[in-house]
Amino acid sequence: MTISFEISEQGRCLRLAVLVDNEAVWPHPGIGDEASAFDAEDVMSYLVDSWSSLLLTQTFPIPFDARQMPRSLTGLMGAAEARWDNFGVDARRKVESEQSRLDTFLYAHDLSQMKFGAGLEPFYVLRSGPHMRIETFNRFIEGVTFAEFVSQMEGLGDTAARLLGDDHPLVIRWHRRDIVDPESVLAFIGGLPLANLVAAAEEMTSLKTLVAGRGLREIANDNRQPILAAARGAGALGMTSLCAVTDAVRALKSGDGNPLVNFRIRNVAPCLRDNSNPTDQGIRVANEVRTWLSLSGSDVVDLADLSKKLHIDVHRIAIRETRLDGLAVTAGDHGPSVLLNTETSRRGNGPDALERSLNFTWAHEVGHLLMDDSEEWPVLVDTLADTQRLPRRVETRANAFAAHLLLPVSTAGQRWKEAGEPRDWPNLEKLLSNLTEMYKLPRIVAARQVSRGVPEGRGDRVQDVFLQNIPSFYPD
């Protein structure tokens, strides 16, 4: 998919049309010529204000719980207002702070602000690794490369600069756009308020060394830098936890990524082809892994053996951030590796509950390493909440992989039959206890797999019992 800007000059104004695969997508051609006319000074003002955010920002500026996460930038404000409605009356300052950050973010990532939004449909853009995500006229465009988008935007800026002249204050700023300070860079990367980074200057020293003395373009093109990628993923956890996460990644050693890469090419890629449903993709890859390990559906997966075969290093860490579950780090200076946080809040009840939770996280992180693009996701940070930093499809696929790798639906259904097809809580609870002990997975995951494995027409009662007795249970 290609993007191009058609630009013509008229005095100190320019006319602009954005084309994707040679089709004009914005401004809409049906709303008159005036819509495509832009004042060069307005264009330059927008670009110098927004340039760093356009190149560096890949996350929303405020945190959302997974179930509140908006599916689009268009729905971002509505989702934020719903979030604020749940705040107490004493949270006015927090709401005002988030609203200010959101307004700034939406301005920076909406090209219609080159005309202050007047009379134009928004044209939202947000970076996602090596690509740009574009939204306009309820249309979602993916596949445009980041480099191509930046090239077109620079051409637009250079045209506006030529119309204004080199002595114009905005043009001077445009020509110096590559000069940035480390705190601002890290604020954009981590999706954090700049004031927070300035206040935590000492904690951020090691991170600042990664960007100090480098130009904006160089930093932006270094998307695979694992420490910065970890900061991007952990930003929603706050400064202290962000530093702990990046320090943990920094301590990892480089490993042999070839077995993982080869398995992705030979075994995983065919499972992802011709199927865009993330749940189905996760199930397919889980089945492929079981076949590769010569396991039947009822066999227990040895995650340590699987990780050893794929040369994935696995480490337990104790980061005092209960929202953090684990991380996956792709091949490079610090991987391929999996980190499991023993301080996660998903500890459950009973002495073995933490181990079962960590086992599921382990499988989940392996799923990321197998299925997700390492160019786009050099580090994936999984947290209990604030998951807007990972798209829903990415998390859905990794969850499906982990659940079906540890306990296939067919096996869960068979165990339910062998237990006498229970539909009351005492017997279902006993079944879940047996499954969690045997397959080393959390009770909630076992319940969902049983619910999926019960034959159609007999599952409603089972789902109702789970809903009544397991607070975090939800049906498909």
Residue 108 has pLDDT above 90, yes or no: yes
For the entire predicted model, the pTM comes to: 0.88
Q: How far is the C-alpha of 258 from the C-alpha of 264, rounded, in Å?
A: 10
- Is a pLDDT exceeding 60 seen at residue 406? yes
* Position 349 pLDDT exceeds 90: no
Give 381's contacts (C-beta < 8 A, 6+ positions apart): 230, 233, 234, 245, 324, 327, 389, 390
259 versus 351: the higher-pLDDT residue is: 259
pLDDT at 31: 56
Distance CA 361, CA 338 (A): 9
pLDDT digits (tens, 9 = 90+) for 5-14: 999 988 888 9
In the predicted model, is pLDDT for residue 197 greater than 90? no
Q: Could you tell me the end-to-end alpha-carbon distance of the chain, in angstroms, rounded to an integer?
A: 34
What does the pLDDT average to over 44-51?
Answer: 97
| Paired sense of beta strands 23-26 and 13-20, if any | antiparallel
User: What's the pLDDT at 29?
Assistant: 57
Q: If you search the block for the tokens 């914005």, which residue do you land on?
A: 26
- Residue 460 confidence (pLDDT) above 90: no
Output the pLDDT for position 374. 85
| Residues 309-332: tens digit of each pLDDT | 999 999 999 999 988 999 999 867
Burial of 355 (0-12, 13-18, 19+ CB in 10 A): middle
Report residue 139: phi and psi, to 5°.
-115, 135
User: Could you tell me the maximum CA-CA distance found in the chain, to the nearest angstrom?
Assistant: 83
Average pLDDT, stretch 17-44? Answer: 84
pLDDT-wise least confident of 68-82, 201-215, 387-401, 413-427: 387-401
For the cut 90, the answer to whether the pLDDT of residue 42 exceeds it is yes
CA gap 336, 253 in Å, rounded: 9
Q: Give pLDDT, residue 120.
A: 87
Provide the residue type at 99 as one letter.
Q
Region 17-23 average pLDDT:
92
DSSP 399-459: HHHHHHHHS-HHHHHHHHHHTT---SHHHHHHHHHHHHHHHT--HHHHHHHHHHHSPTTSH
Residue 366 has pLDDT above 90, yes or no: yes
389, 136, 74: which is closest to 144 by C-alpha?
136
CA dihedral (437, 440, 445, 448) in degrees, to 10, reads -60
Angle value at C-alpha 387, between 96 and 312, nearest 5 degrees: 145
CA-to-CA distance for 440 and 220, rounded, in angstroms? 41
Q: Which amino acid is at 10?
A: Q
Q: Is residue 66 pLDDT above 70, yes or no? A: no
| pLDDT value for 385 | 57
Q: What is the distance between the alpha carbons of residues 370 and 268, in angstroms, rounded to a whole number?
A: 7
Average pLDDT (142-157) is 96
* Mean of per-residue pLDDT scores for the chain: 90
DSSP bridge pairs for 381: 327
pLDDT value at residue 36:
85
pLDDT of 386 above 60 = no
- What is the pLDDT averaged over residues 343-371? 90
Q: How confident is the model at residue 471 (pLDDT cuts 50, 70, 90)?
A: confident
Q: Which two tokens stand for residue 297?
A: 């559906």
Q: DSSP of 364-386, one letter per residue?
A: HHHHHHHHS-TTT-SEEEEESS-
| Residue of 48, 316, 244 lying closest to 158 (CA atoms) | 48
Model pLDDT for residues 237-267, shown as the tens digit of each residue: 888 889 999 999 999 999 999 999 999 999 9
pLDDT at residue number 387: 45
Reported as a single tens digit per residue, the pLDDT across 110-145 is: 999 999 877 788 999 999 889 999 999 888 998 999
CA distance 379 to 333: 12
Which tens digits make up the pLDDT trace of 266-293?
Answer: 999 999 998 889 999 999 999 999 999 9
229-246 burial string, b = 16+ CB within 10 Å, else e? Answer: bbbbbbbbbbbebbbbbb
Confidence class for position 388, pLDDT limits 50, 70, 90:
very low
Whole-angstrom distance, CA of residue 189 vs CA of residue 234? 10
User: How does pLDDT run across 169-195, given as a tens digit for each residue?
Assistant: 999 999 999 999 999 999 999 888 888
